[in-house]
Amino acid sequence: MPGKRIISGAAAAALVGGLLVGGASVAGAHPGHDFTGDSKPLKERYFDNGVVGDVSPGGVPMEAMSGERCEDGMAADLFPCQKVDLASFTPLQDLGATHLNDIWGWEDDETGMQVAIVGTFEGTAFVDVTDGENPVLLGTLGAVNPDDSGNIWGDVRVFEDTAYIVTESFDISTYDRATGYLEGNGVQIVDLTQFRGATGEMEVVEEPRITDFTQSHNVSINTDTGRLYVVGAVYSVKNECAVDPPAGYPAVYSGSGGAIVYDLNGDPTSPTLVGCMNEDGYSHDIQCVVYHGPDVDYQGREICVGSNEDTVTLYDVTDIDNPVVLSRLPYDAAAYTHQGWLSEDHRFFFLGDEIDELAGTVGERTTYIWDFTDLDDAELIGMHSDGNTSIDHNMFVKDGLLYQSNYTSGLWIYDAWKAEQGRVTSRGFFDVFPSDDRTDFFGTWGNYPYFGDGKVVVTSSDEGLFVLQSRAKSSSQNNGMKPAM
């Protein structure tokens, strides 16, 4: 469906200082994003800036914990769990934070050091989790205008030894209505080797950042090709990826929200702009791979899977000068096509819709399973649900397991070995928000399962950083048992 909208919502909106005129808001991080100050984005309506209580909204005492094994379905007599142990919990105040969002990780090939890179309201925290039971805060890189609500949303990815950090934050005091200029974080770039040998807090040094757009919502990297994909940039795009703003809107609305693509090869700290993906408008999130799935027509080509608000959209970006949309995949229960991840053989795509539970298009937490055997004719083959009422969020695949952050019910680990039957099977979980499983935006935002030693780091927005140790295994790995004879 060509001409995908870049306008989201019907409520009148106005940025402070008269940024927006007209009767609708340009697409932002999530449906209902509204800058009036009279109403708040869905996630922000529960965020009380700067206030951290003695007990979190999820019923977690805001005190550090460590070394708690999951036994008889509980860890620390507080957290419901299965086959996932609590290595440590670091509360918000010990991170110098009032709210957490997304997370990624870095493992140093030279030293074996493992660092969790944690998005916070104040910026980005770097935490040494090599010893999972004794995490160490190494420092925090601040974000522009930390009083702005945009810092609720952030994302980070790593290429080799370099981190790339984005946020929705911007500084309204810099806005120039005539030119559309608006200052924000762009992409912050951090050489992670500066943490080698660090044993405590230090000043985090950043490289010159990408400043040819103001903000973005997510970032993704194809580590095989060294391409950085920045998605969700709407305000003040100042490079060749800019688009004409909608009729009646000021010049600041110069981004479609489609991917802005950079080459990281050569000098990863100095990315080079190589292309734009405006063909299907706003992408909330994206995963790009060198495809090695069953569709022989596309093997060896660079394929991106966009979670584009109301469709899953497939692109062939092998020639980044001429991206091609292969498929736009709608589905009946769509409310907000949020994020997903490919299986390791690239045959299946697991999708989360962030608003379907809240909107009532489904009755309980649902994961959509797509068969990508034919990229020109992909098929929705299953909708997994298990009776839980929480909202699913970011998910990733490792060793046949799907690691899914589910806001108020915590981290769930699913076995994907029967995906061809349109289903997954629970192998373990850890509930970081033990008070309830309400259908709301409290609890865990993201997870990173790729350290390789069973360690999974998890952010919980109103609680803090959890370092978990998983004992779950996929049946594709024989679940730790010898194969049947």
Q: Check which CATH number belongs to the domain holding 440 and give it.
A: 2.130.10.10
Is 135 inside any structural domain? yes
Is 239 inside any structural domain? yes
Is the pLDDT at 144 greater than 70, yes or no? yes
Average pLDDT for residues 263-269, to the nearest whole number?
96
Look at phi and psi of residue 168 and say left if phi exceeds 0, alpha if psi is from -120 to 50, else beta.
alpha
Is the pLDDT at 203 greater than 50, yes or no? yes
CA pair distance 70, 81, nearest whole angstrom: 6
Strand partners, 302: 290
Q: Cβ-count burial of 36 within 10 angstroms (0-12 exposed, 13-18 middle, 19+ buried)?
A: middle
Question: pLDDT band at 403, cuts 50/70/90?
Answer: very high
Is 1 inside any structural domain? no
Closest CA to 81 of 394, 480, 468: 468
Is 310 inside any structural domain? yes
Closest CA to 159 of 262, 237, 304: 262
Average pLDDT for residues 206-225, to the nearest whole number?
97
Please tell me the predicted confidence (pLDDT) of residue 47.
Answer: 63
CA pair distance 58, 433, nearest whole angstrom: 4
Please tell me the predicted confidence (pLDDT) of residue 150.
Answer: 81
Is 482 inside any structural domain? no
Average pLDDT for residues 322-331, to the nearest whole number?
98
Please tell me the predicted confidence (pLDDT) of residue 72.
Answer: 98
Please tell me the predicted confidence (pLDDT) of residue 151.
Answer: 86
Is 4 inside any structural domain? no
Is the pLDDT at 157 greater than 50, yes or no? yes
Question: pLDDT band at 35, cuts 50/70/90?
Answer: very low
Our count of domains for the chain comes to: 1
Please state the separation of Cα 377 from the chain's center in Å. 27
Is 447 inside any structural domain? yes
| Average pLDDT taken over every residue of the chain | 89
Please tell me the predicted confidence (pLDDT) of residue 473.
Answer: 94
Is 484 inside any structural domain? no
- The whole domain housing 354 covers 11-476
